[in-house]
Amino acid sequence: MNYSNLFKYWRTVLTVAEMSLRTQFSEGFVIFAIIFQPMIIAILAMFMLKDKGGDYAMFVVVGSGLTGLWSSLLFVSGNSINVERWTGTLESLVGMPTPFEVIVFGKNLANVVQSLLSMVSSYTLAAVLFGYSLTLTQPLLFFITLFISMFAFICFGLTIAPIFIMYRSVQQWENAMEFPVYIICGFLFPIALLPEWTTPISYLLPPYWAATALHGTSTAMMPLNQVLFSWAMMIIFSLVDLVIASQLFKIMLYKARVDATLDVD
């Protein structure tokens, strides 16, 4: 498909996002993944990094928020199509004139927006429970980075979902994919700690650039050219993801109609 559809269908994207927020927000597991798990990781990290001094509290808030963003993308966005299959709604969605990518984009938008709550809840935790006064070093740049990061996460999620659908065996690695990304993207500690050979892998993952720029603009004074470089990387990766995703969706939908896997029975 061509992504001008996203503009043509902007209203649909918003409706899809609204409805998936409404359905998911009563789901215990979703609440856990976006609020409780990041909060627990934040508590742990605050205890562990207490002696580091400096701006570690803000660092933990941003880092644990990122873990929530990734986990929800992995589990919620990754499974969103499967859930539709179980509830029998996938056939209706496919049998509609709206391109399927538009629907999934809307769903991912909802997931990413709701997982911003991860950051908010970690922030509240640090401010209220631990009593830190938290300030952003470069607020404007931080929020622009956050906005671009959300877009990058959504696009990254677009490539994951069809892969999970087509290759169920890949999806079974889901659990094993949660923590490696926390590690390799430098959410809560710098990747300099890792063996050198992992560095190129980090560079290839959009969440790494998100983490770098978000940490840099919240706890340090990141030079503008570095911030811009991170933004550029995220945007380039997003565009690549969009191209890949559109091919994957095409293959996936055709394959599902050949293999009769749109419904569970």
Partner 1 sequence: MNAIEVNHLRRVYRAQIGVFNRSIKEVVAVDDISFEVKQGELFGLLGPNGAGKTTTVKMLTTLLIPSAGSATVAGVDVVKGANEVRKKIGFIFGGERGLYWRLSGDDNLRYFASLYGVDPSVSKKRIPYLMELVGLKGRGNERVGGYSRGMKQRLHVARTLLHDPDILFLDEPTIGLDPVGAREFRNVILDLQSQKKTILLTTHYMFEADALSDRIAIINKGCVIAMDTPSGLKKHVSDLSVVEVETFGASETALEKLRALPFVDSLSIEDREQKQILLVQTTRGAEAVPDVMTALEGQRVGRVIVREPTLEDAYVRLVGGAA
Partner 2 sequence: MNTFTKNIYLFWQGTILSYRALFAWLRPVTYMASKILMPLAQMFFFVFLGSYATDGTATDFYVIGNAIQITAVSGIFGVTFSVGGDRDAGTLPYLFGTPANRFMIFFGRAFMHVIDGTIGVIIALTWGVLLMGLDLSRTDLPALGLTIIITTFSTCGLGLLMGCLSLLTANVMFVNNFVYFSLLIFSGANVAISTLPVWMQVVSNVLPLTRGIAASRMLVAGGSLSDVFPLMVSEIGIGLMYGLLGYFLFAWFETQAKQRGTLETV
Q: Which of 103, 117, 141, 158 binds partner 1 (CB under 8 A)?
A: 103
Q: Which residues are CB-contacts of 261 (< 8 A; sequence separation ≥ 6)?
A: 85, 255
H-helix segments, 125-138: none
We find the least distance from the C-beta atom of residue 79 to partner 2, in angstroms, to be 12
CB closer to partner 1, 91 vs 179: 91
Question: Please, which residue, 43 or 253, has the CB nearer to partner 2?
Answer: 43
Binding status of residue 172 toward partner 1 by CB under 8 A: no
Shorter beta-carbon distance to partner 2: residue 189 or 229: 189
Question: How near is the Cβ of 77 to partner 1 at its closest, in Å?
Answer: 17
Tell me how far apart the alpha carbons of residues 64 and 79 are, in angstroms, rounded to a whole number.
22
CA-closest candidate to residue 37, choices 67, 10, 6: 67
SS3 sequence, 214-263? HHHHHHCCCCHHHHHHHHHHHHHHHHHHHHHHHHHHHHHHHHHHHHCCCC
Binding characters for partner 1, 21-40, by CB under 8 A (x = yes): -xx--x--------------
Angle at 62 between CA 147 and CA 129, to 5 degrees: 130
Q: Whole-number minimum distance, CB 16 to partner 2, in Å?
A: 24
Considering the complex, state which of residue 106 and residue 206 has its C-beta at the smaller distance from partner 1.
106
Q: Work out how close the CB of 182 gets to partner 2 at its nearest, in angstroms, rounded to a whole number.
A: 5
Q: Could you tell me the smallest distance in angstroms from the CB atom of residue 50 to partner 2?
A: 8
Contact call for residues 111 and 157 (beta carbons, < 8 A): yes
CA angle 145, 21, 83 (to 5 degrees): 110
Site for partner 1 in 40-99 (CB under 8 A): 87-89, 91-98
Is the sign of the CA dihedral 146, 148, 154, 160 positive or negative? negative
Which residues does 98 contact at the CB level (< 8 Å), separation at least 6? 9, 12
Interface with partner 2 (CB under 8 A): 28-29, 31-33, 36-37, 40-41, 43-45, 47-52, 169, 172-173, 175-176, 178-180, 182-183, 188-190, 193-194
- Nearer CB in complex with partner 2: 31/253: 31
User: Under the criterion CB under 8 A, does residue 260 sit at the interface with partner 1?
Assistant: yes
Nearer to partner 2, 38 or 157 (CB): 38
113 with 24: CB under 8 angstroms?
A: no
State the angle between helix axes of 56-72 and 139-166 in degrees (0 to 180), rounded to the nearest 10: 30
> Which residues contact partner 1 (rule: CB under 8 A)?
9, 11-12, 15-16, 19, 22-23, 26, 87-89, 91-98, 103, 254, 257-260, 262
